Amino acid sequence: MTRADDPLGTQVDTVNKASDDTAGKQARILLHSQRDLYSNIHFRLGLYEFEDIISQIDSIDMLAPQRENWFKYGTRIANRLASYHNTSINPGISKIKVQKNYDLFFAVVSFPRDLLNLKYLEGWKDRCKTSICWLNEIWVRDIARTKYYLRLLKDFDYIILQCAGSIKAVQEVVKTKSLYSPYGIDAILFCPYPNAPRRVIDVYSIGRRSEETHRTLLRMGRENKMFYVYDTMAGDKVLNTTEHRTQFANMAKRSRYFIAKKQIYLKK
């Protein structure tokens, strides 16, 4: 990593970090990750798992912007300006300059607001032959208020979405080819076979839940009719991302029933 001052007095980072498995090889892919900005937020961990799988099967350099001191407040101000005034400031991340050539630039983001962080990555368009952005969550009802973020995608060759119903609406805004790919997990990590453990957990519930269903399952648990596992703390942060994901998989493999409540949005 090298650092050099820019005209605004902030720092410009130049990072090219190869994965351990591909050290010494010429990286083919430049992967942009949000993991150091949102390192311990549990609903983002599946994407980091996805990035780790890519690093295991191909040669990559991973770019992960770092937080500056004002990130906590800067990101709020930057998102407010982007949502209501179609402009933005640096949300509080380090700038990065790409200095090597790659076949592919692959950016993984969870939400449209994360796209602001790509504004402070310099040189990727000139250094990479093809570019793809993996946008994990964008709903049609949010298109109107996220147009500023979406326009930041205009330099990409392809956009991959996990919301099939949003493809047409996003493509109309960005004018870039948008494709659908269903969300997935590390199936090998979560698969209980070939050495299947005993399913000692009757019901495993994570995230959102129906309070009526939860009360019923609690009652059955108190009456020793079942072993019910559920969240007992508020918040979305974990102590260790890898340990959390491993425990999640181990508990899922030992559960007879697994519950995750879907949030449904109805048109007005």
pLDDT in tens, the chain (268 residues): 222 333 223 333 334 444 454 455 689 999 999 999 998 888 898 999 999 999 999 999 999 999 999 898 899 999 999 888 888 889 999 989 999 999 999 999 999 999 999 999 999 999 999 999 999 999 999 998 899 999 999 999 999 999 999 999 999 999 889 999 988 888 889 999 999 999 999 999 988 888 999 999 999 999 999 999 998 877 778 888 888 999 999 999 999 998 988 765 555 4
CA 264/CA 101 separation, integer angstroms: 43
Give the sign of the dihedral formed by CA 159, CA 162, CA 167, CA 172.
Answer: negative
Alpha helices in the chain (DSSP H): 45-57, 71-85, 124-127, 147-151, 167-174, 187-190, 211-222, 241-253
pLDDT of residue 265: 52
Q: What is the pTM of this model?
A: 0.79
Same domain for 118 and 206, yes or no, is no
Same domain for 250 and 161, yes or no, is no
pLDDT of residue 83: 85
Q: Which residue has the tokens 């879907």?
A: 262
Question: What's the token pair of residue 125?
Answer: 């368009």
To 10 degrees, the CA torsion angle through 231, 242, 158, 160?
-30
Q: Which residue has the tokens 């209501």?
A: 84
Q: Is residue 108 part of a domain?
A: yes
228 forms beta bridges with 203
Q: Is residue 267 part of a domain?
A: no
Same domain for 256 and 143, yes or no, is no
- Domain endpoint, select from 160, 180, 200: 180
pLDDT of residue 1: 29
Number of domains the chain contains: 2
Same domain for 163 and 212, yes or no, is no
Range of the domain at 21: 2-180
Q: Is residue 265 part of a domain?
A: no
pLDDT of residue 109: 95
pLDDT of residue 24: 53
Same domain for 11 and 90, yes or no, is yes
pLDDT of residue 11: 35
